[in-house]
Amino acid sequence: MLIHPTHQAHPLVEPADLAAPTLPLEVAAHEALLRTVFRWANDYLCGPHPDLGRRGAVCPFTDTSLQRGLFFLSVHPGTPRHPDELAELLLHYRDWFTDLEPRTGPTAQFKTILVLFPDLVEFDVVDQVQQALKPDYTRDGLMLGEFHPGPPEKAGLWNPAFRPLHSPVPLLAIRHMVPTDFPFLRDDDSTVAAYLQRFGDRVPAHLREHVRAAAARLTQVRELT
């Protein structure tokens, strides 16, 4: 378990904590919730799904993140009702994520923080804050993902009828942006620009045609303005 030096009320629970028979005292009250989300990550995110539309795990990064001990959970009880309140809270985790090792190198892409909101029943708040913060996060080289029991309306990349962002409790996930993230960023000029600035010289082969089209569109927009 990791304790922030100035925000000690909300520690980060590690995979090693959840592998133990009991959790540390500081998070013991949330044991059932944490173990539920941990099982969801192992069973759903790390596994295949018949509606996914491709082979492999729902999330290709989660298994390695778990195996390397870089999959962190934090619980926030209470009911933030407005996106601004949730966005302010996320600033702490964004900064903490940036400070956590590994900061660079290939292993850093597997570092993930999931912030859980078990008492939140207005799921659209999660969707709204993700949409509002997404441009800022991508400019910093980060991805912010929304998950909840709704589930979010975002369709799967390979099966538009599939809603992959389903989770047992509302949560927001922070991780590093990687070159294969372009499909999640292509519909917004600001996130396309952030992607091109960071990965323009190392676009995966299967995405190059789509990235070129988005880059051309962005150039036309800039010329018109």
pLDDT in tens, 59-98: 999 999 999 999 999 999 988 878 898 998 899 999 999 9
Range of the domain at 61: 15-177
Give 1-30 as a 3 state SS string: CECCCCCCCCCEECHHHHHCCCCCHHHHHH
Residues 154 and 45 in one domain: yes
Does 9 fall in a domain?
Answer: no
Does 197 fall in a domain?
Answer: yes
Residues 183 and 82 in one domain: no
Residues 128 and 207 in one domain: no
Does 93 fall in a domain?
Answer: yes
Residues 213 and 136 in one domain: no
Residues 56 and 160 in one domain: yes
pLDDT in tens, 209-218: 989 998 888 8
pLDDT in tens, 23-42: 999 999 999 999 999 999 99
Return the percentage of the chain with pLDDT > 90, whole number.
Answer: 80
Residues 154 and 123 in one domain: yes
Q: Which residues pair with 71 in a beta bridge?
A: 112
Residues 96 and 29 in one domain: yes
Residues 191 and 82 in one domain: no
In angstroms, rounded to a whole number, what is the distance separating the alpha carbons of residues 77 and 56? Answer: 34
Residues 110 and 204 in one domain: no
Tally of domains in the chain: 2
Find, among 74, 73, 90, the residue nearest to 82 by Cα. Answer: 90
Average pLDDT over residues 116-121: 95
Residues 45 and 149 in one domain: yes
User: Do the beta carbons of residue 175 and residue 142 sit within 8 Å?
Assistant: yes
pTM higher than the cut 0.85: yes
Q: Which residues pair with 186 in a beta bridge?
A: none
Residues 53 and 43 in one domain: yes
Predicted local distance difference test score (pLDDT) of residue 177: 95
Residues 160 and 60 in one domain: yes
